[in-house]
Amino acid sequence: MTQSRYTGRFAPTPSGFLHFGSLVAALASWLDARAVDGRWQLRMEDTDPPREMPGARDAILQTLERYGLEWDGEVAFQSQRFDAYASVVDRLFNMGLAYACTCSRKQLEAYGGIYPGFCRNAGHAREGAAIRIRVPELTYRFTDRVQGEYQQHLGREVGDFVIQRRDGLYAYQLAVVLDDAWQGITDIVRGADLLDNTPRQLYLQELLGFTQPRYLHVPLIVQPDGHKLGKSYRSPPLQADQATPLLLRALRALGQDTPAQLASATPAQVLAVARAQWRPERIAQRTTVPEADLH
């Protein structure tokens, strides 16, 4: 039996610029693929036009290029995949695996994000309703390459979840699973903020007959004051002229060595060395970036 060739991906959402946390995820994903001569694909997760920031797509592509994170083939755009998503939603709905939900946000407020199943057997029409997938009363588990064993009981901890919103837009959970399978992704390397989304994705993969990829969730970058570095909190866009120092900081956040002579290297040179020395087993489950490495 031949093992399919490593295919990784980076899947930014164009709701903002890339920040340091996204660089850490992109770099880990790129290195993990390139260290084994694997492929690395880029997918723009532009499923939500109202939340897209004008100019963000181009800026993201440009930043990746400037930082030397080259991808293979064409960029995939989720906004061009709506027909594929629609046919899967139709199929799941027609099979009774998904159903229409008319609950308002207000009605669900008291349930802490776990859907209480109000519309499960209501037989609502699809028009103007969200579509939810029925989850089984089962625990989904996997072994993450950095975070170790992770498990979640879908019925108790998540509940039936939305795959298509009331406004017709497709949910991340559905799009990501369909596109990872469509692009032949064998390895998913991404931020640990998505760890608790993974069991939902495992369930959809199982339901749709897809192969389960391997997972590596890189630590969230926590600032010295305890705040997560994210889109909403003090996350300056990555500057093109800071590529080398920021790549070195990102490597340190991933537990990798950064030989002193790399300080004056080009981004491509930094990446070539990092690729040859890549040690994913040195990634910590949690990282606090020293104050000095944030500015």
Query: Which window, 7-15, 131-139, 211-219, 279-287, contacts ligand GLU (CB under 6 A)?
Result: 7-15
Q: Which is nearer to Zn ion, 16 or 117 (CB)?
A: 117
Establish whether 11 is an annotated binding residue: yes
Which of 190, 200, 217, 249 touches ligand GLU (CB under 6 A)? 190
Q: What is the 3-state secondary structure (H, E, C) of the chain?
A: CCCCCCEEEECCCCCCCCCHHHHHHHHHHHHHHHCCCCEEEEEECCCCHHHCCCCHHHHHHHHHHHCCCCCCCCCEEHHHCHHHHHHHHHHHHHCCCEEEECCCHHHHHHHCCCCCCCCCCCCCCCCCCEEEECCCCCEEEEEECCCEEEEEEHHHHHCCEEEECCCCCECHHHHHHHHHHHCCCCEEEEEHHHHHHHHHHHHHHHHHCCCCCEEEEECCEECCCCCECCCCCCCCCCCHHHHHHHHHHHHHHCCCCCCHHHHHCCHHHHHHHHHHCCCHHHCCCCEECCHHHCC
Establish whether 149 is an annotated binding residue: no
We find the least distance from the C-beta atom of residue 13 to ligand GLU, in angstroms, to be 4
| Among ligand GLU, Zn ion, none, residue 248 binds (CB under 5-8 Å by kind) | none
* Token couple for 152: 């979640």
Q: Which is nearer to ligand GLU, 46 or 160 (CB)?
A: 46
Q: Per-residue x/- marks for Zn ion, 77-116, CB under 5 A?
A: ------------------------x-x-------------
We find the least distance from the C-beta atom of residue 134 to Zn ion, in angstroms, to be 12
We find the least distance from the C-beta atom of residue 109 to Zn ion, in angstroms, to be 13
| Among Zn ion, ligand GLU, none, residue 118 binds (CB under 5-8 Å by kind) | Zn ion
We find the least distance from the C-beta atom of residue 110 to Zn ion, in angstroms, to be 14
# binding residues, ligand GLU (CB under 6 A): 7
We find the least distance from the C-beta atom of residue 279 to ligand GLU, in angstroms, to be 22
| Among Zn ion, ligand GLU, none, residue 119 binds (CB under 5-8 Å by kind) | Zn ion
Establish whether 13 is an annotated binding residue: yes
Establish whether 9 is an annotated binding residue: yes
C-beta separation of 162 from 169 below 8 A: no
| Among Zn ion, ligand GLU, none, residue 46 binds (CB under 5-8 Å by kind) | none
Distance CA 171, CA 213 (A): 20
C-beta separation of 198 from 262 below 8 A: no
Q: Per-residue x/- marks for ligand GLU, 10-49, CB under 6 A?
A: -xxx-------------------------------x----
Task: Please provide residue 151's backbone torsions phi and psi, each rounded to the nearest 5 degrees.
Answer: -145, 155
What is the sign of the dihedral through the CA atoms of 87, 92, 95 and 99?
Answer: negative
Binding residues for ATP: 231
Q: Which residues bind Zn ion (CB under 5 A)?
A: 101, 103, 118-119
Binding residues for L-glutamate: 9-13, 45, 172, 190
Binding residues: 9-13, 45, 101, 103, 115, 119, 172, 190, 231
Q: Which residues bind ligand GLU (CB under 6 A)?
A: 11-13, 45, 176, 190, 194
